[in-house]
Amino acid sequence: MRQSRIVVVGSANMDVVGAGPRLPRPGETVLGNDFVMVPGGKGANQAVGAVRAGAACTFLGALGSDSFGVTLRARITAAQVDTTHLRVVYGASGVALVMVNAAGENAILVTPGANAAFTALTEAELDVVRGADVLVAQLEIPVETVTEAAVAARAAGTRVILNAAPARQVPAELLAAVDLLVVNETEAQLLTGRGRDEPAALLTLVPRAVLTLGGEGAWYVDRDGRAVHVPPVPVEVVDSTAAGDAFTAALAVAWGEGREMVDAVRWAAAAGAACVRRLGASVALPRRAEIDALYTP
């Protein structure tokens, strides 16, 4: 089995994470019991997740010129992600303020910082996209940048996975370049007006889709007529913050390795389950051996 070549185009944030017994209501202060500050952002998480799952991965994104940017680059590079083309722009890096309750549920406020300035891909960046097996993108950077990358990937024969998160409208030009869409129930509802009971509605937009349902598993659907429910992997949930990123990264790696798609979704579900057992985002992303240990063919 050859190693997947993945390129992730997306965001990088410093995650400031506090854990407590419950999430505060508006105007309320809740005494917490744990705190970590770790690299995050859906793009950086998925890049690190792809490497830990066994791929060679290049990350395209933008960091600020602040101390968070220095730390982010050092930590992402230390995770063996190729950061050769990672930009630095003057100003603040992206920051995510994350609150986690005792059940592992979270509330997140993201300030984009440098991520909002990641526009107009260079020819060198586009060459990286064209040379990959799979492009993975999300919606925490300008949608115009995601579209540009996806269109270039499609023209070069690079497969495109769009994790349409956070929930927002997706332009038709971008959807036309997507090979596989990964969404949760909220994102699916926004895109199609249909929820968990009609995953096939996503096929009006793309040829293949995965609808993730957290503790209820996931649906895989495609235009070949397949609609397969992949059951959840039972584990004790500590923090679900990066579960979707672990899932998407592992799915890209498995597809790049040539696995059959339903099997790839099962392996990705094991990655998501392995991730939720630890507090934090990038620090919780599982390695290949941890995914294999929970994977059931």
Annotated binding site for ATP: 184, 212-217, 244-245
Dig out the tokens for 268 from the structure. Answer: 């990705």
Number of Cβ within 10 Å of residue 53's Cβ equals: 29
245 in active site: yes
Closest CA to 154 of 173, 171, 138: 173
Dig out the tokens for 98 from the structure. Answer: 């994350």
**Which segments are annotated as binding site for substrate?**
13-15, 41-45, 140, 245
Number of Cβ within 10 Å of residue 166's Cβ equals: 15
- The reply to whether omega before 166 is within 30° of 0 (cis) is yes
To the nearest 10 degrees (0 to 180), the angle between helices 143-156 and 123-130 is: 50
Q: Give the CA dihedral 162, 168, 170, 174, nearest 10 degrees.
A: -40
**Which segments are annotated as binding site?**
13-15, 41-45, 140, 184, 212-217, 239, 241, 244-245, 275, 278, 280
Q: What is the DSSP string of 219-252?
A: EEEETTS-EEEEPPPP---S--TTHHHHHHHHHH
Quickly tell me which residue has 């930009």 as its tokens: 87
Dig out the tokens for 54 from the structure. Answer: 């066994």
Out of 133, 179, 245, 263, pick the active-site residue. 245
DSSP state of 117: G
**Which segments are annotated as binding site for K(+)?**
239, 241, 275, 278, 280
d(CA 50, CA 136): 10
Q: What is the DSSP string of 22-62?
A: SPPPTT-----SEEEEEEE-HHHHHHHHHHHTT-EEEEE-E
φ and ψ of 11, to 5 deg? -95, 155
Catalytic positions, written as ranges: 245
